[in-house]
A and B are shown apart, each in its own frame.
Chain A
Amino acid sequence: MELRFTPEELAFRDEVRAFFAENVPDETRAKMSEGEHLDKDDMVEWTRILNDKGWAVPHWPEEYGGTGWDPMRQYIFLEELQRYPAPSPLPFGVNMVGPVIYTFGNEEQKKRFLPRIANLDDWWCQGFSEPGAGSDLASLKTRAVRDGDHYIVNGQKTWTTLAQYADWIFCLVRTDTEAKKQEGISFLLIDMNTPGIEVRPIITIDGGREVNEVFLTDVKVPVENLVGQENKGWDYAKFLLGNERTNIARVGMSKQRIARVRELAAKEMSGGRPLIEDPRFREKLSSIEIDLKALELTQLRVVAADAKRGNTGRPDPASSILKIKGSEIQQGITHLLMQVMGPHALPYHEDIEGSNEPPIEPDYAGSAAPGYFNYRKVSIYGGSNEIQKNIIAKAVLGL
């Protein structure tokens, strides 16, 4: 048992820190610190800086552009990225469809898509959820019918994050209506510019447009855009959902948000003194920090086990713990941040581009309440926390 980082790992951490300090655009860092949304250009700019360095897709196999880092270095990289803070690589390409393509796709698909994911030439979005298929994802109804060299796709996807920027969408579609529901699903890559695709915004309670509905009407998709085998899509989807283990807990991001809470609580006054001096407030903050420290160690246990035994790629019940606790902590911090701003969190800042209205003071308060409202999502998406508990009950506890 060795419970500390090795000197080599510490040196690696310093190297990563130094790279971020020199290369993350100041404006991007400032936006992230203040909880503002990044726009597409911010993401593309940063991804290309990372890609030039060879760090855009660290966890991919080296032949597709990965760095060859062991799981501990992967972890340190993401932790430092989130702490700086710098944007995490867009997950839909880098963590979701990319690994599916290099694991199950054909050579043609690998050549065509993987370099463009790494450079963010293609912005991907995820077409899994449907109005009638949320936690029960396998009941999805979007239909793909083979017609010569094409599939004709009809249906509706929803909660599609940042589809408004997307060039491509990876979709779970039903290709066999007779089979058991998990066995009639295929994994299709669809160009968002194909006729018949319509994206409609969903405005969430924070006032933001992060998610969308995507309507597919007689969309013609070339057969060559099928990944792997027809009707095996559910296996690929499970692989995709279980593949992300190093980033799910977002420990680095929570550390950065806690530092932000501390910084603002030193500015905001309560009872004639800075809020950070209020014992009740300090205890709430410390309580979250303790949870986060425990989660960090839980995460490191998973990473160290991966390093030793290799990532099996199967969904690991440990990732369910990381998801449950990680989401609770992230949500707890957004609530605390809103409490820091107190009544100044009340004004609703409409996000109108080109507006000349001055911000309502203090301007850093603007994202506090929306951040809280928005982060209710983290215990819902990616398999709600109740679904995660079902997974643990079945896979770990044998109930």
Chain B
Amino acid sequence: MDFDLTEEQSILKDSLDRLLADKYDFEKRMKIMAQPDGWSGEMWNAYAEMGLMALPFAEEDGGLGGSPVETMIVMEALGRALVLEPYFATVVLGGGVLRHGASAEQRAEFVPLVAGGELKLALAHTERNSRYDLNHVETVARRDGDGWVLSGQKSVVLGGDAADHIFVTARTAGDIRDMNGIGIFMVDAKAEGLARRSYTNQDGTHAAEISLDGVTVPAASVIGDPGDGLSIIRRVADEAIAALSAEAIGVMEKLHALTLEYLKVRKQFGVPIGAFQVLQHKAVDIFVALEQARSITLYATMMADSDDEDERSRAMNAAKAEIGRAGQLAGENAIQLHGGVGMTMEYAVGHYFKRMTSIDLTFGDHDHHLRRLAERGGLFG
């Protein structure tokens, strides 16, 4: 067992950190956030040039063959900088569908475009009543000759504002909560009958509500077996959880660092407030939560490419539950230790807190994953 980065991994981390330190400090991020799209095309191209978009795809498909460890490195760095560009939506979610569900022809067509930064993707799966249940799909896909016709509503489609192509899940058979009978369809965002209402999330990222009103999809755009899309979605969701956990580590690192810095410079009663033991112990609580979260993220990363679905899902339940708990502790304490300044939009710590909070509400919160893990019989059961 070795937790140190290889030389290549260190280079990846250092160059991305350098890029973001240079181009994505808090002030610059605020400017990017204020742009009409709310994210930066220039940065998007810079990531693509670094090879970040190509990273997790197989070499034979036009990618770099990176492992979950490489994705972890990238996501941590994006978390530290609170990056707004739709990397997670395109490469982790959309890319995940391509990696685990798409045919060789589909991969040959789309992976090079994603890898080159020319194509943005999104996964439209969540619905108004699905909450975090991956099997809950009300959107309907009706057979129409060789192809399909989609109708329904998708909610909070991350990166759905910017996506060129959207993977839409829809029910091809069965009842709305059946495991079987879910298909995945690749839809052009400009397709007739598709309407999207884009908006900004609490954390500055972007999403869209998407409605589908008789959108026609040719057979060539069906991903995998139209009756068994759920197994693909589950796999993608597990990778998404490992990636979000890593991003959360980057966010928590900054919550911790900003708080520590503040405790050392802010003076009251004639001394730095970090001299007060009650505040010291809260800062230690953040630190311990961060290190425990880092450990469980390493575990999730280790399990992310496991083919044993049960073992893999338990690991993701554990990681996401722990990230949710630790992140809430770190975020709330960071704000508290900053006092009033932590409440202001113009200071960084609140933005990290908001991203941390959003991560908990994405792909299942602490309670959801704890319940799932308990139902599965726990980690050591």
> Which A residues fall within an 8 A CB radius of B?
1-6, 9, 72, 255, 258-259, 262, 279, 282-283, 285-287, 289-298, 300-301, 303-305, 308, 321, 324-325, 386, 389-390, 392-393, 396-399
Contact = CB atoms under 8 A, between A and B. Distances in A.
A291 B375 CA distance: 17
Nearest to B302: A3
Contacts of A390: 277, 280
Contacts of B274: 397, 399
Contact of A399 (B280, B288, B321): B280
B175 interface: no
B12 to A, nearest CB: 12
B283 interface: yes
Given A290-B296, A290-B318, A397 B280 contact: yes
B371 A279 contact: yes
A368 to B, nearest CB: 20
24 contacts: A1-B9, A3-B301, A259-B380, A262-B378, A279-B374, A285-B374, A289-B379, A290-B321, A290-B322, A290-B379, A291-B292, A293-B318, A298-B291, A301-B3, A321-B288, A324-B288, A325-B292, A389-B281, A390-B277, A392-B284, A392-B287, A393-B280, A397-B284, A399-B263
Interface string B1-41: 11111100100000000000000000000000000000000
Contacts of B3: 1, 3, 300-301, 304-305
Given A386-B281, A389-B284, A397-B287, A282 B322 contact: no
Nearest to A318: B291
Contacts of A297: 295-296, 298-299
A4 B288 CA distance: 24
Contacts of B375: 279, 282
Given A321-B288, A389-B284, 14 more contacts: A1-B69, A279-B375, A285-B378, A291-B322, A294-B293, A297-B295, A298-B291, A300-B1, A304-B2, A325-B288, A386-B281, A389-B281, A392-B288, A397-B287
B316 to A, nearest CB: 11
B270 interface: no
Nearest to A303: B1
B33 to A, nearest CB: 31
Given A2-B2, A259-B380, A389-B280, A301 B295 contact: yes
Contact of A321 (B2, B291, B293, B378): B291
A321 B288 CA distance: 6
A4 to B, nearest CB: 7
Interface of B: 1-6, 9, 69, 260, 263-264, 274-275, 277, 280-281, 283-285, 287-288, 291-293, 295-296, 298-299, 301-302, 318, 321-322, 370-371, 373-375, 377-381
Nearest to A299: B295
A304 B4 CA distance: 9
A293 B263 contact: no
B296 A293 contact: yes
Which of A2, A289, A293, A303 has most chain B Cβ within 10 Å? A293
A293 B1 contact: no
Nearest to B259: A397
Binding site secondary structure of chain A: helix
A260 to B, nearest CB: 11
Contacts of A282: 374-375, 377-378
Nearest to A282: B374
A4 B302 contact: yes
A5 B299 contact: no
B369 to A, nearest CB: 9
Nearest to B288: A321
Contacts of A262: 378, 381
A312 B22 CA distance: 37
B31 to A, nearest CB: 32
Given A282-B375, A286-B374, A399-B283, A3 B1 contact: yes
Nearest to B299: A297
Contact of B5 (A1, A72, A287): A1
Which of B4, B5, B264 has most chain A Cβ within 10 Å? B4
B377 to A, nearest CB: 8
A255 B379 CA distance: 10
Contacts of B260: 397-399
A285 B321 CA distance: 13
A156 B28 CA distance: 64
A258 B377 CA distance: 12
Contacts of A392: 284, 287-288
B257 to A, nearest CB: 10
Contacts of A324: 288
A294 B292 contact: yes
A289 B280 contact: no
B273 to A, nearest CB: 10
A294 B380 contact: no
Nearest to B367: A283
A4 B298 CA distance: 11
Contacts of A389: 280-281, 284-285
A250 to B, nearest CB: 15
